[in-house]
Amino acid sequence: MASSARTNNSAEGESSAGRRRPGRPTLSNEQLLDKALELFFEKGFDGTSIDAITASAGMAKRTVYARYGDKTSLFKAALSRAIDEWIVPVERLRAAECDDLEETLLRIGQILVTNVLSPAGLRLLRLTNAEAMHMPEISTGNVQRGTEPTLAYLTDLFRRHLGGPDGARDDAGQAAQAFLNLVVGGPANNAAWGMLIDPDEVERHTRYSVRLFLHGFLDRNAQTSPDEERALRELLGEARAQLDEARARLDQAARLA
């Protein structure tokens, strides 16, 4: 009887163990990176601890270390994932093309500027700018993953539209870089420094920048009206002022570092 009771108790224990509620499921890598990135955005790299990340993710520290090794590797992985989700696919830019080059460039410029000024774009800009001094490789990675595919696409676009029958144009790559600097660089730099930009002003900037680019790139002898020339001069003056301000702030940040 005693043996039977022990057997029954053992069976009941095993049955009870089998009915135990499973523990909290471990987050996927993507979920962990998203949790970590939110904290990095909020507090920066130095202000975010592994303890805070594991508490937010409900995950053991040993699990995080087993996956990524250290906080720096986790930060870079989270940032890389965010960049991959944020960048505009080349296919979307190609889908914006039409027969008119100026209209094509305007559409592409609007897509890129809207993307860089989106909440995700602004957070990435400010986070990468804040940490690039200590980890310059993250800026390099940003360029490789986001900017280089766009530059390659624009280079091909200019060759197809402006390179003649054989598609040859030696300065197509330089033109692609100039287009990005002129059309997207201004709003991006302002946003990175926390300057509020009126949407109507952004649209005006995009349209005039595209026109300025085309007049300079396609026909240096093209005639424009006095109002157009004045607007273009104002745009150039604004760009120079923004560049001077950015340089001054970079110099100040370097002195304080």
How large is the average pLDDT for residues 37-52? 91
Is pTM beyond 0.85? Reply is no
197-210 per-position pLDDT tens digit:
778 888 988 998 89
Orientation of helix 50-57 relative to helix 61-68, angle to 10°: 110
Assigned CATH for 95-256: 1.10.357
Determine contact, residues 117/191, Cβ cutoff 8 Å: yes
**CATH 1.10.10.60 correct for 23-86:** yes
74-85 per-position pLDDT tens digit:
998 998 888 888
- How many angstroms separate the CA atoms of 187 and 64, rounded? 37
177-186 per-position pLDDT tens digit:
889 988 988 8
In this structure, which amino acid lies at residue 256?
L
Given a cut of 80, whether residue 47 has pLDDT beyond it is: yes
Lowest mean pLDDT among 93-107, 138-152, 163-177, 212-226: 212-226
DSSP string of 118-140, one letter each residue = SHHHHHHHHHHHHHTTT-HHHHH
Q: Which residues contact 219 (CB under 8 A, 6 or more apart)?
A: none
Binned at pLDDT 50, 70 and 90, residue 50 comes out as: very high
How large is the average pLDDT for residues 97-108? 95
Task: Domain ranges for the chain, please list them.
Answer: 23-86, 95-256
127: nearest Cα among 117, 139, 118, 115: 139
